Chain A
Amino acid sequence: MNILEVSNLSRSFGGLRAVDDVSFSVEKNMIKAVIGPNGAGKTTLFNLIAGSLKSDSGKIRFNDRQIGKLPPYKIASCGIARTFQNIKLYSHMTVLENVMVGRHVRSRSGFFSGMLSLPSTVKEEKAIRQKSMELLEMLEIGDLAQHDATSLAFGQQRTVEFARALAMEPELLLLDEPAAGLNIHETAGIAGTIQRIRDWGITILIIEHDMSLIMDISDEIVVLSSGRRIAQGTPEEIQKNDEVIKVYLGEDNA
């Protein structure tokens, strides 16, 4: 069953067609990757799916619901979580608090119940804290819970972003270059984490430059170049695809 269907999606910036008539679908519980050279339109595609950009034309369906026109917070409450290429953790908040924000869509206390600290709110707050702490421990950063999130090492911050996204209990997780800026050791760790997240029943759509990581973990790959989809298939098929080799290595090597 397809959890996400992108059809004929386009978006231009001035004269530049950043995403040009792109279609693909993501099956439930698979790891699907989007690759392509710099400027291929990968991040634009992600921002379109997550709602922080609006498309010029085309459709995005999530679980048989049109989400193309929804604002980001509504898309999040539909069950799509994301991480950012340039990590966006909340400054002046602890690691635990950052993850607790991820429980926002799974809890409901509002302004007034918060101000009055009603019993139901206190109870909910306790559950939020407990669930967030569990997640930190599952990702093996439980000992960092009380640290200021933005003071951590880069790799640790990335793990916190993962924990925050997972706190939403999403059905689909969008990962924007999760290995960017990480060393080989940390990248291997991230690969393991991504596979574990899939084993928890979460579908993953990932953008990545690190080819070995992509070839190792993904079930299917979409290749973008200059905003257009030029290939789609399993890692083996993509490695043999002439067009892909041409885009990545240049005309002569084809």
Chain B
Amino acid sequence: MLLALAVVLFQALASITGSEYVLTQMTMSGYYTLVIVGLTVLMGYTGQISIGHAGFFAIGGYTTAVLTTKNLLALQNSPLAAFLLKWGLAVHTTDPYGAMIAHVSPWVSLVVSVLITMIISFLIGIPILKLKGHYLAMATLGFGTIIYHLVLGSRLFGEADGISSVPSFVIAGPLRITGDTSQRIANYYIAWFIVIAGIVLLVNLINSRAGRALRAIHGSEDAAGAMGVNTARYKLSIFVLSAVFAAVGGALLTHFNGSIGPSESSVVKSVRYVAIVAVGGMANIWGSLTMGLLLNFLSLRGYLGSYDDAFFGLMLIVIMLFFPDGLLTRETLGNAAGLIKSLKQRLAGKDKGVRK
């Protein structure tokens, strides 16, 4: 509720001050935040690290990009294209030159993206989730690297150029996910509605029986097994779920931007996601939300300049050195409060000393 209110307030503020352009970055930041909250449940609550989630983001984005940029009218001979056209699973529109074209409905491509992500994360997850700690980190890193090079090296995915001219995502009636500036405010709300819905689902999960089992795995995998938790299955389920969150974020952002490039799947992006989860307090979904929003926004607005990636690397080092449990945790916030209090007392004490 509070979050929904904050979302509305921000929009009002942006409109009043005449800086509605920031809503574009807020929208993009929202889709990245979807990846981050999913990863938070995997890393922070279940204790399974992944340095490959940009890979799942890219699988979601590229799947929908490939599917929705094929002209089905030119492929009418193929039974699949004919089937999609016949059952209304395609969208008819015109290309920039005014010719009639038809492409797969984004709803269909979104479902396909999610299914492909589920299958890939399931198959990858079975062997690698047997690993622990940095072995798991390295395996997920390997996965991310493979996706990056697949995307970069294959024609289907546009090689280094990526895929552009991805159509907008018509949700219903006039509601559509698009980067068109006339739709800016609506898109800001669409994105944050989805983020809030995602967070509600995850918070419910964390506080449920399944969520307790996940946190128990983090606390002690042996003891979780001894209490009857099928640890392998739970780890796999949350891995797949967090991959789906990343893929949905990737797919929707691709429709919003109208394009996707290989940098979205790079390991640097994965490291950035991990860094944001860490700085947000690891097992703190609100912390990751705040940090994900803030840092992605700053990065997208270009405040971090060309040192963008270096900034996230440095942040990760600082966090690991000084706040291994994350920055926005109850303890650090408590310590900060304590520090301010003791400073105040000291200042008050000094005053007294002067008076004497």
Q: Which residues of A contact B (CB under 8 A)?
A: 50, 52, 71-73, 76-77, 81-82, 84, 88-93, 97, 100-105, 107-111, 113-117, 121, 124-125, 128, 164, 168
Contact B208–A104 (Cβ < 8 Å): no
Residue from the list A92, A102, A114, A116 in contact with B227, Cβ < 8 A:
A102
From residue B57, how far is it (CB to closest CB) to chain A in Å?
21
Chain A CB within 10 Å, residue with most, of B201, B212, B229: B212
Q: Which residues of B contact A (CB under 8 A)?
A: 201-202, 204-205, 208-213, 215-216, 218-220, 222-231, 237, 241, 283
Specify the chain B residue showing the minimal Cβ separation from A111.
Answer: B210
Specify the chain A residue showing the minimal Cβ separation from B212.
Answer: A101
From residue B238, how far is it (CB to closest CB) to chain A in Å?
8
Contact A52–B211 (Cβ < 8 Å): no
When A89-B219, A91-B219, A93-B215 are in contact, do A164 and B209 touch as well, CB less than 8 Å?
no
New A-B contacts (10) at CB < 8 Å, excluding given A84-B223, A109-B210, A115-B201 = A52-B225, A52-B226, A76-B227, A88-B220, A90-B215, A92-B219, A97-B212, A101-B229, A113-B208, A164-B227
Contact B220–A89 (Cβ < 8 Å): yes
Sample (10) of A-B pairs whose CB atoms are under 8 Å apart: A72-B226, A76-B227, A89-B219, A90-B218, A104-B227, A105-B227, A111-B237, A114-B205, A115-B204, A117-B208
Contact B216–A101 (Cβ < 8 Å): yes
Give bound CA distance, A89 to B216, whole Å: 9
Specify the chain A residue showing the minimal Cβ separation from B241.
Answer: A111
Give bound CA distance, A92 to B46, whole Å: 11
Give bound CA distance, A117 to B207, whole Å: 9
Residue from the list A82, A92, A107, A116 in contact with B209, Cβ < 8 A:
A107
Give bound CA distance, A103 to B209, whole Å: 9
Cβ contacts under 8 Å, A84 to chain B? 222-223, 226
Residue from the list A101, A103, A107, A113 in contact with B224, Cβ < 8 A:
A101
When A73-B225, A73-B231, A82-B226 are in contact, do A109 and B209 touch as well, CB less than 8 Å?
yes
Cβ contacts under 8 Å, A100 to chain B? 212
